[in-house]
Structures are given as structure tokens and as C-alpha cells.
Structure 1
Amino acid sequence: MARKDLFAVDGGAYHNKKMATYGNGVIKRGLEIVRNMPRIRIDNVKDNPGARKQEKRRGRGQTRGKRSGRGHKGQRQRGIPPRLGYEGGQSPFYLSVPKEPYYAGHHLRRQYLPVSLHMLQYLVDMGRLNPEEPVDLTSLVNARAVTIDIIKKHYGVQLVSEGKDEFQAQLNIEVQWATEDVIAAVERNSGVITLGFYDLQSVEALAHPLIFFQRGLPIMRRSLPPKDLVDFYTNPENRGYLSDPEKVRKARFDLAQKFGYELPDLSKDNRYQMLSMRKDPRQIFYGLQPGWVVNLKDKTVLKPTDEGLLEYYKS
């Protein structure tokens, strides 16, 4: 038994000695490789292969450098290439294709970014939209639902019907465009929806209120809708912000009869005060009137006192 233990100890010592010899050999070979490697000096530093392309050599070939590699005569030889879209004299593509009438004024068309009811419910469930406060374009931009760019003629948001069957949030929401089934989906859950028009300056202020307030400018008046949208925003069936409130109540009842749901009584709702909040036709921000100046540094709101300004900003 003792002999086995002694053999084990001797075997371990032999193994350690062998590993030490092997390690010393590896270290020696490594040091020899490092000694023989070329040192980086200023005289041997150069770019990687292919980093520099050799310049084309002139003066060789048939013309002995007289044409500088450009060939004989013509636009390419003289350094005046044809303009973009030129096809050698034939009718170019952009003239051979007929001009369709629906392209007229395409760059002036108003664009409305889509936001689905499914996305709206998701934002409420995730806490990115507060159902205890009115929802407008500022709330949707802060919730990262849309990104507004007025250069692309973004005039606001349109509410689409995707997810209308699972929509259950009670909201007082203001958008710029919506269809009949979307309005029914919002009002079925004791919600209120209003369709309002904003000009591009008002849209930019709504989408980026912090930047607007930092400029120190008075809040402008919201422009009235153009002629082609007056009928849309004065129609109570569209819940336009310029429509008669009495006619809107009747339109709510008619829509409930059409889609077969019971219209809830908002006057008995605990959120009636929030649900009844609406902007003035000239108002942009909730709680802030046109003509007021918001001072973010001093956290104050400056109101005009001049009668001329009050008359100008009055709705």
C-alpha cells in the first residue's frame, strides 16, 4: 500500500518536471520568433496590399498621349457629358409616358399618418397613453405612435379600423380623419371622438411643443379648414369640430342604432368632465389660448393685455 503511494508521488513529480521542461521550450521558441521578427520602423511602414491604386500612365499606346485616354472627338472627349435624362436624340422616357390626370397636384396633397385602434389599445395598456386626459396629436407623438414631418405634408393622423373588435379603451380623442366604423368603435366604449383640422404650422407646434415654446413666440391661432374640407368638418356625422353639438348628439344616437349597440349616457359617467373637454376652433393646445407666451425658464405663462391683440386672437 505504501509502495503504491510512493509510486504515485514519484509519478506526479515526474509529470511536473516534464511539463516544466515543455513550458521552457515553448517560451524559448516564442522568444526566438519575437527576436527574428522585423521591427516596425518609419522606413518599413507601408499600406496594406491594394490600399493604393496605381495612377494610370499616360502617353502610351496608339495616340502617344495626344488624346489623354479620352478617345477621338465628341462630348466625352471634350469633357462635356450629356445632361441627365438625355437619350441621344430620341424621345426620353419621361416624355414618352403619358401624364395621368391623378398625378396633378400630387405634391400638394395632404397626408394623414395611419394609427390603428389596435395600436391605440396597446398604447393605453402599456401606459404610454393616459386615458384620464384628452388625447390629441401631441399625446400620440409623445407615445411614439407617429412621427410628424411637415415637409412631407403630414397634416395629422387618421384612425383606421384595424383592431376595432378588441378595442375597449374609453378615450376623449381628437384626430384629423376617421371612418364611420372607427367612430362607432370609440363611442361604443363610452368614448368621444372629434375630427379637427390643423394647418402645417399648428401641426408642427403640436408635434414638437417643447421646441415651439423655447422659441418664445406667442401661440398662433389655428387656421380654418380650406374650402374643400369645410363640408367635412362641419358635418356632425363625421364628428367635425365645426359641427353643431346638438346635431352631434343626434348623429351619435343614429350611429348606435345603425351598428346595434346601446349608447351610454355620458352625463352619468365619472369621467364626464374629461370627456366633455373640447378645443376652441382656433385653439391648438389644451389649456392654452392663442396669444399666450409660455416661458419655460421661469415656468410662467404671459397673457396679452392690449385690446388690439385680444381682439385679434379672439375666436
Structure 2
Amino acid sequence: MSATKGVNISEYALNLYKNLPKINPTNVKLNPGEKRKRPHVGKRGHHGHSPRGAMQQLAYKFLGYEGGNTPFYKRIPIENSYNFGHHVRREYPSLSLYQLQLMIDTGRIDPTQPIDLLKILNTKIIKFDRDNYYGINLIDKGMDLFCAKVNIEVQWASELVIAAVEKAGGNIITSYYDPLSLSILKNPLNFFAKGEAIPRRLFPPKELVDYYSNPANRGYLVPFISNSNSEFQVDINGFNSASIALWAKKLETAQKFGYDIYFHAGGEQTGDLPVKITLENINDFWKQPTNSNSHTKYPPFPSKLFTLKNPTQIFEGINPGWVVNLKDKLILKPKGDAWKTFYGGMYMN
């Protein structure tokens, strides 16, 4: 303050500004701890990258490349490829006749009882770990070694498999299970614990009706469909022309592969001895017996081995609409005719 005593402040500042060096890039310093980012010199594009794409820098362009323009195959409308929707198509895991014979020999499956999808899943040999699994495809591997007399229900089978099972004296049926029924069969205890009524098994979709109603495929709808029209006919015992057509196909398959089929009719006419089926006597098995006191016919599947499941049943011996109580170990059966109409209609016993 003493140096500037008696001097004008404005003049003092002006003289100080004249004596100080001018501000230029050489005497301007950064703040302590600050680093200056060096600019990218001689670079093209943004942030040091080339403006050209990776495909433009290729020495040899791939087939169909049009210099960055939309390719021709993307400009046309979408056309489904040969495997479009493969992840939702119905698949049938294979079970060979050799595996089936091995499971019977090792005691995993009882051949004296009907074999359905639930009993096959209980063996833990085949796992349904995908949502598009719709049942078992019985294949002909090991058909020369198969000798078990079984009544088996599968979802898909070839003519060789059908011939191998029937040659051994057994019976094979192809049946359809809807996705809800399959989810219940995967874990029945989990479903029973919910305390819900067992739903009815739905009929196959339109594209599968012909397969499961064809006697050549041993479809489970054959005894319930009349040959005269496409409507479902109530015939729980199978006494119609469709049953005769089923046995006619059995006889045709037997003649094609060179073996005989027999029929255990029972009763006073044949006793317990099996009767060989031919074209001449195939219609006689559906005639009334000569005994006037008897009012029954010879059924197409009379014994326990040839028991057919109701087309609306999921579990053998348990009708739709029943509730399984695991805690009390009881089966609750509804009363009245309303539940029969809703859950099974004409197919309920």
C-alpha cells in the first residue's frame, strides 16, 4: 500500500498490465492434476474409427453383398424355410422293442397288465423334458428278439412294430393325449395334491383324426367310429362294423408277414381254447351266442390283456371328474348325470 500511496489505482493497474507478458499458449498452464487430451490428428470418421463398415473393408465380398444396400433376399417378402416352426412341431421320443423287452425282463413293467404312457414314464427310461413331446414312438429295433405278450398303448407305431407285437400274441393301440393330459401324466402326484378334478382327455386335432381312426394304425378311435359317417357313435364295447374292420386289418397284417392270430372268445362254444381267425369266421365272433339265457356278444377284446381305455380317460380305472385325495387315500366320485355329460358324455360307464 505504501508503494501506491498517492497514486491512482487505475494508473497503477495500467502500468502493471504494460509490464506483464501477454497471454499465449506457451505460458498458459493447466490446473494442478489436470491432463490434456491430445486430439486425433489425421483420422477419419468418429472416435478414431473408419467410416467404412467391416464388410466394405473386405478384400473379397461374400456372395450377395451389394455394397451396403439392402440385399435382394431381404427385399422380397418372407418365405418360410423347410424347418420353419420346428421347435413347436409334435415330436415322439422313440422306444425300441428291445428296450421294451428289457424292461419286461428286468421287472420294470408287468406284461400281464395293460401298458400305457403312464407306466412307461414311471420306468424313468424316457424323460419328457420338452413341451413338444406328444407321446411314445415304438420303433422296430430288436423286433426279432421281442417275444412278450403285452397290451400296449403308444402314440405312434409303424406296420413292422404292429406286426411284431401281434405276432407275439399281444395287442397294440395308438392313442392321442392332449398337452394338458401329458402335463398331468408327467407328475401325477403334483396334480393330485392340488385337489382338482381330473379333466377329460381331448380328442386329437383335425390333422390327426385320420391316423387314430384308421384300423391299419390300430387307432383307439376305431371301435367308437362308424364306417358309414364321420360322427362318433356310442359303442363302448366296440360292437360295430368298425370292430370287424379292425380285426380284418389284423388278419391282413398277419397274412402279409406270415403268422396266425387267435381269438380267446370263451364261453360254451369254444371253451378256453383259442380260435384261429380266418376270413371265413371273422364275422362269427360278433353274432349272438346260441344260449338263449345269454344276452352278451363276443367282445373284440374280452380278456384283461385286451382291455381298452375310455377315449376320455387319462388314467386307467379313474374316470374324468373324479378327485383323488392323497391325504385320506380316497377317490371322490361325483353323483348325478350332469358330471357324465360334462366329462365324458356317452363314453362314460
With normalisation by structure 1, the TM-score equals: 0.68
* Residue 163 of structure 1: aligned partner: 142
User: Are 1:172 and 1:274, in contact at CA under 8 Å, matched by a contact in 2?
Assistant: no
**Kept in 1: contact 2:150–2:165 (CA 8 A):** yes
Is 2:207 aligned against 1:209? no
The answer (yes or no) to whether the contact 2:177–2:201 under 8 Å persists in 1 is yes
Distance 1:59 1:148, change over 3 A: farther
Measure how far apart 1:264 and its partner are.
3.0
CA deviation after TM superposition for structure 1 residue 307, in Å:
3.5
Please give the alpha-carbon distance, in whole angstroms, between the structure 2 residues aligned to 1:296 and 1:188: 41
**CA distance, structure 2, for counterparts of residue 269 and residue 175 of structure 1:** 29
**Amino acid in the other structure paired with 2:101:** Q
Q: Distance in 1 between matches of 2:97 and 2:320?
A: 31
Structure 2 spans left out of the alignment, 5+ residues: 1-33, 41-45, 52-64, 223-241, 266-271, 275-300
Let me know the Cα RMSD of the aligned residues.
Answer: 3.2
Please list, as runs of the form range in 1=range in 2, the aligned pairs for 1:186-225 lying within 5 A after superposition.
186-225=165-204
Structure 2 CA distance for partners of 1:241 and 1:269, relative to 1, 3 Å = farther
Instruction: Describe the SS at the equivalent of 1:102.
Output: coil
Q: Which residue of 1 aligns with 2:118?
A: 138
- After TM superposition, the structure 1 stretch with the greater mean CA deviation from structure 2, 109-118 or 204-213, is 204-213
Do the aligned partners of residues 246 and 100 (structure 1) sit closer, same or farther apart at CA in structure 2, a change above 3 Å counting? same
Residues 10-159 of structure 1 mapped to structure 2, 5 A cutoff: 62=38, 71-72=47-48, 95=74, 99-151=79-131, 153-159=132-138
Give the gaps of 5 or more residues in structure 1. 1-57, 65-69, 76-86
How far did residue 252 of structure 1 move? 0.9
Does residue 303 (structure 1) correspond to residue 333 (structure 2)? The answer is: yes
Q: Is the 8 A contact 1:138 1:208 kept in 2?
A: no
The answer for the alignment partner of 2:243 in structure 1 is: 245
> 1:227 aligns to what?
206
Identity between Structure 1 and Structure 2 (%): 42
> 1:17-54: CA deviations, max 9, x gaps?
xxxxxxxxxxxxxxxxxxxxxxxxxxxxxxxxxxxxxx
Contact 1:111/1:156 (CA < 8 Å) preserved in 2?
A: yes
Q: 1:273 to 1:99 in 2, by over 3 A?
A: same
Residue 212 of structure 1 deviates from its aligned partner by 1.5
Q: Which has the larger radius of gyration?
A: 2
For residues 151-186 of structure 1, the C-alpha deviation after alignment (integer angstroms, 9 at most, x for no partner) is 2x1111110011111111111100000000000000
Task: Give the equivalent residue in structure 2 for 1:279.
Answer: 309
Amino acid at match of 1:237: A
Contact 1:137–1:207 under 8 Å retained in 2? no
AA aligned to 2:305 is: L
- Report the number of matched residues: 241
Letter in 2 for 1:260: G
Per-residue CA deviation, residues 165-223 of structure 1 (Å, 9 max, x unaligned), is: 11111111000000000000000011010000110111111222112211211111111
Q: Deviations over 1:257-298 (max 9, x none)?
A: 010012133444899622121111111110000000000110
CA distance in 1, matches of 2:99, 2:36: 69
Spell out, residue by residue over 1:105-145, the C-alpha distance to the aligned partner (whole angstroms, 9 max, x if none): 43331111110101111111111111121111111111122
Query: SS of the counterpart of 2:135?
Result: strand
Return 96-105 or 220-229, whichever deviates more.
96-105
Describe the shift of the 1:72–1:229 C-alpha distance in structure 2 as closer, same or farther (beyond 3 A).
Answer: same
More helix by share: 1
Question: 1:111/1:231 Cα in 2 relative to 1: closer, same or farther (>3 Å)?
Answer: same
Contact 2:112 2:305 in 1 (8 A): no
Alpha carbons of structure 1 residues 135 and 105: separation in structure 2 relative to 1, 3 Å: same
Q: Distance in 1 between matches of 2:130 and 2:181?
A: 10
Q: Is the 8 A contact 2:216 2:249 kept in 1?
A: yes
Question: Which residue of the other structure, out of 320, 323, 337, is the alignment partner of 1:293?
Answer: 323
